[in-house]
Structure formats: C-alpha cells, structure tokens
Structure 1
Amino acid sequence: MSAHLPTLRVAHTADLEPDERTAARALLYRAFDDMTEDDWEHCLGGVHALLREPSGLVVAHAAVVQRRLLHLGRAWRVGYVEGVAVEASHRRRGYGGAVMAEVERIIDRAYEFGALGSSDEGLAFYAARGWRPWQGPTSALTPTAGVIRTPDEDGSVFVHAGTAALDPTAELTCDWRDGDVW
C-alpha cells in the first residue's frame, strides 16, 4: 500500500484520540452546511470508521450507534448510521464506500438491522450499496406526546435488513433525541 493513501481506523468513541475526534467533527462541519452540535452528538457513543491521510486530515467518516426502533409491535436493537461524509476534494475515490463497508460489517455482526436517515445527496449512494428506502410511514416516540408522525422523513429513511423480518410498508418509529430525530 502506498504511503500517501489514507489509512482506515475503526474505533469506539472512547478510543478515539482527541485529535481524531476533533478532525472527524471538523470534516462533518465542512461537509454539511446545516451541521449542528446535536448532529455531532448523534455520532458519539458508538463505533467510528475514519479514513485519515498521513498529514492527519480525516477525509472520510461514518459512525454506527445503537438506537431502539419500534416496528411490528416490538423494540428492535438497531445499528443506526450517523455522520457519513467525505472531504469534498476526495470524493469519487471509494472512500465513502470504505467507511460504510466497516459500519455495515458492524451492523451485520452486532445488530438486528441497520437504519439511517439520508440527505437528498446520499439517496443514490445508499441505494447502490443495497440499503432500501423505508416505504411505510415514519414516526418518533416523544417524551410528552407519545408517537408522532415524521412525514418529512418519509422516503429518506433507509434500512439494511440483514436477517430481520421487517415489513417495509408498515410504520417505523425511532426513539427520541434532541435535534433531528431521524
């Protein structure tokens, strides 16, 4: 492997070096105009896949965190993908696929299924990787109002079902969190 190619590191949030955590956060803020501290918080507490250049620049990132999603009358333990980004000058080199392959491996080995909320720009990327758009209604379990519909998220939630018996036309409800619930 050439010394100028990025190296892949997979680590839990607790095991990231401070500079890695700072570099990953900075990448996400560069990649997303509407990035918030809540969005960054959603990436923490799980496993990160980072591609880092020898200079230290993180050029790709994805994280998988545990969430509970309600579907067909039960709460599923789900690997939820967060913070997928590739440095603008490094796109179309397979780096997004490299970090996604790692989080998909983790999902396949540790969770009942995977899920994510996609931006419009990411829809084709996830579909090409075999992720399927959720066809049914989406909702969130709120702390005060119970289950509420999240119609703005319909069509942007994707699942990586693995062996889980899911009905993609039925309702899918996420657990509550600050910021964007999906």
Structure 2
Amino acid sequence: MIRVLHTAELATTVRARARALLYDIFDDMTESDWEHSLGGLHALAWDGELVGHAALVQRRILHGGKALRAGYVEGVGVRAEHRRRGHGAAMMAELERVIRAAYDLGALGASDEGAAFYAARGWRPWRGPSSALTPAGIRPTPDDDGAIHVLPCTAPLDLDAALTCDWRDGDVW
C-alpha cells in the first residue's frame, strides 16, 4: 500500500522510521540528504511495515533564461528484501502524477543503479552541463553531469543546454 503525505502530516514515529529506512538502505546517507527530503510530499510503501520511501520537494531550476518550478525527487529507496515487487514504481507513479499536474518539470539525481529504472519511466538523462546557483554565483557541478534526469512537463527543454539548480547545503543535486 502507498500513502502520500506532506512532511507536516507525518507522525513523529513515521518520520523516524522513514529516516531510519533510508539510513539502512544507503551507506553514504547524510543528515543533509535527509533534510533534502523534508518539506514536501512523501510516498511511503507499506507491506506490514514501512518498506519504501520517496519524497518530492519544490526547487527552482534555471534553464533557457527562466526559473522553472521543479518537482525534485529525493530519498527514493526500498528495503532490499522488498525490491522487485512494484513498491518503487508505485511510489514514483504517485510522485510523477503530482509533478505532471503542478510543476514545469521533474528532476532528480540518479545513481548508476537507479538510472535504468527512471529511464524506463520516461525520465530523460540531462546531457548538458550542470551547475548550482551558490552564494558566490553560478558554479559548475561537473561531478553531477550524467546523473541528472528530468521528466519533461510544460516547460520546453533543451537536454543539451545548461541546467542550474538552486543552492542548498550538502549535495546540490
């Protein structure tokens, strides 16, 4: 079963379980990574217990001279013993429904393991250079090139052009 709730609607115990789940799944999970998942919607997969989490937060993405409203996907993970049962797809379907209805585009940073999953769902790899709008100005983020994926919605996108995200602590993409 998938439940979609805003961060403000998450019971303290559910929020703690979601955080623990992501820390169990990802060896390199940080507090900044968890913070990036807060303040928007959470798609939670339940199979007797919490087995999956995915979050959707709003960010500004600069592209083609415009600041676009992006539904940015964060903290996507399913416990290993519950993978390949449709939980990830069901969580993403809920978030993609919201992205298509409310945002100019969807965006996310995909791991090498996750890239094929997102591509099969219609997410497109960004081929152009990436950067972040930092307190010191626009700075290239070449380590993120090739890992950024977008879900086209209403904004015209040139996948070979520059893409700049708003600033945040930790991993900017």
Aligned partner of residue 113 in structure 2, secondary structure:
helix
The CA distance in 2 between the partners of 1:101 and 1:52, in whole Å, is 15
Aligned partner of residue 54 in structure 2, secondary structure:
strand
Matches within 5 A, 1:27-66: 27-54=21-48, 57-66=49-58
Task: Note the aligned Cα RMSD (angstroms).
Answer: 0.8
Q: Which runs of 4+ in 1 moved over 4 A?
A: none
Aligned partner of residue 98 in structure 2, secondary structure:
helix
Q: Deviations over 1:115-151 (max 9, x none)?
A: 000111111111111100001000001102x111101
Residue type of the alignment partner of 1:16? L
Shift of 1:53: 2.8
Residue type of the alignment partner of 1:15? E
Aligned partner of residue 120 in structure 1, secondary structure:
coil
Selected match of 2:160 from 165, 169, 179: 169
The CA distance in 2 between the partners of 1:110 and 1:60, in whole Å, is 23
Q: Which residue is equivalent to 2:133?
A: 141
Q: Which residue is equivalent to 2:144?
A: 153
- Identical positions, percent: 66
Larger Rg: 1
Shift of 1:68: 0.3
Matches within 5 A, 1:11-160: 11-54=5-48, 57-144=49-136, 146-160=137-151
Aligned residues: 173
- TM-score normalised by structure 2 residue count: 0.98
Q: Deviations over 1:23-58 (max 9, x none)?
A: 11111101110000000000000000001233xx21
5+ unaligned residues in a row in structure 2: which ranges? Answer: none
Q: Which residue is equivalent to 1:4?
A: none
Q: Deviations over 1:78-134 (max 9, x none)?
A: 100000000111001111000000110110111111000011111111111110000
Shift of 1:20: 1.1
- TM-score normalised by structure 1 residue count: 0.93
5+ unaligned residues in a row in structure 1: which ranges? Answer: 1-6
Shift of 1:163: 2.6
Contact 2:103–2:154 under 8 Å retained in 1: no
Shift of 1:74: 1.0
The CA distance in 2 between the partners of 1:166 and 1:141, in whole Å, is 19
